[in-house]
Amino acid sequence: MFTDMPILPVIWFAVIGFAVAMYIILDGFSLGIGILFPFSKSDSQRDLMMGSVMPVWDGNQTWMILAGAGLYGAFPVVYATILPALYLPLVLMLLALIFRGIAFEFRGKSRKYRHMFDLAFAGGSVVATFAQGVVLGGIVHGLHVSDYQFAGSTFDWLTPFSLFTGIALVFGYASLGAGWLVVKTEGETQNLAYKALRPLTLLLLLAMAIISAWTPLSNSAIAERWFSTPNVYYLSIVPVLVVLLAVNIFFDVTARREKLIFTKLVMLFMLGLIGLVISFFPYVVPPSVTLWDAASGPSSQSFLIVGYAVILPIVLIYTAYSYYVFRGKVKPGNLHHY
């Protein structure tokens, strides 16, 4: 279908897609723990919750910078249209992330102001997640672009759909956070996460179903892609897998099988992203800008790919190593950085 188009922009699409996916999973569970913070029972429980992500959160967040800067270099049009179009939710997200970050650093260093840092952590996480969901919804809903610039108005992003995706992402990240806590903690904290997982998974499934119905209903091209034959035969595997995974997670929660819950939640998220790619490829700023329209020139993209080819594997190895090193359960006794 697109075989006569240059390949380099597609490679870049994959690279940045990978960085975005890494961000959503890794910072997703970190933010999720912040969202679950208000449901904790005690200060020591909050210590554990925060401790379970403490050594890795900063690295998790840097994927967002890598994705953002990569967009600027490889797809300047995406960078230059999405950012102004979703200006207010993006600024809100950045400010919320600053609060969240500062809370991470100082909560453990302070007893007197701890409640304030607790509030900044939970509030920052909820607001940043909601804003990210709104951004996602705003992009999926489509941006009015003309001559490679955003041509809409200030509140174009504010639609029932984007508010819905905002709320949905809060539940989504919370479920990732709960999945993480099930793996990383035990006892009361783990129990709290187990209890949260069933309603959260249900809500996540519901949200995915609503988005899956909403997008083809409002966009005939997407409906055409999913429901025309023969596409419908092999694409229907995506929703089937989603339902199977969700049911599986339910059984795992009931049986308290902790090992694979988080992995399955991650797979659920990945299926959601794959669904979006199926719906929109090759459009990167729906409904009008394709990845080839948005790409920087071959000279820029090849100059930049050299850097990514060197750095990305090193970062991945380091990331994997950090997670390996911090494997196992977080216990009150091994929180010695406090």
What residues numbered 97-116 form the site for other proteins, per CB under 8 A? 97-99, 101-102, 104-106, 109-113
Within residues 142-161, the interface with other proteins by CB under 8 A covers 148-151, 153-154
The rounded distance, in Å, linking the Cα atoms of 191 and 143 is 43
The rounded distance, in Å, linking the Cα atoms of 289 and 88 is 22
List all residues 6 or more positions away from 285 whose beta carbon is below 8 Å from its beta carbon: 77, 78, 81, 82, 139, 143, 145, 294
Q: Which is nearer to other proteins, 185 or 201 (CB)?
A: 185
Residues touching other proteins, count (CB under 8 A): 74
Q: For residue 119, what are its two tokens?
A: 């509030």
| Residue selected from 76, 216, 239, 282 as contacting other proteins according to rule CB under 8 A | 76
Q: For residue 60, what are its two tokens?
A: 């998790």
Shortest Å, Cβ 2 to other proteins: 22
Q: Which is nearer to other proteins, 112 or 233 (CB)?
A: 112
Q: Which is nearer to other proteins, 39 or 148 (CB)?
A: 148
Shortest Å, Cβ 46 to other proteins: 16
Q: Mapped to the 3 state alphabet, what secondary structure does 197-235 carry?
A: HHHHHHHHHHHHHHHHHHHHHHCHHHHHHHHCCCHHHHH
Options 36-44, 248-256, 258-266, 304-312: segment touching other proteins (CB under 8 A):
304-312
| Residue selected from 24, 54, 128, 242 as contacting other proteins according to rule CB under 8 A | 54
| Residue selected from 32, 70, 138, 179 as contacting other proteins according to rule CB under 8 A | 70
Contact criterion met (CB below 8 Å) for 293 and 2? no
Which x/- pattern over 256-295 shows residues binding other proteins (rule: CB under 8 A)?
Answer: ----------------------------------------
DSSP secondary structure, 274-310, as one string: HHHHHHHTTEEETTTEEHHHHPPPHHHHHHHHHHHHH
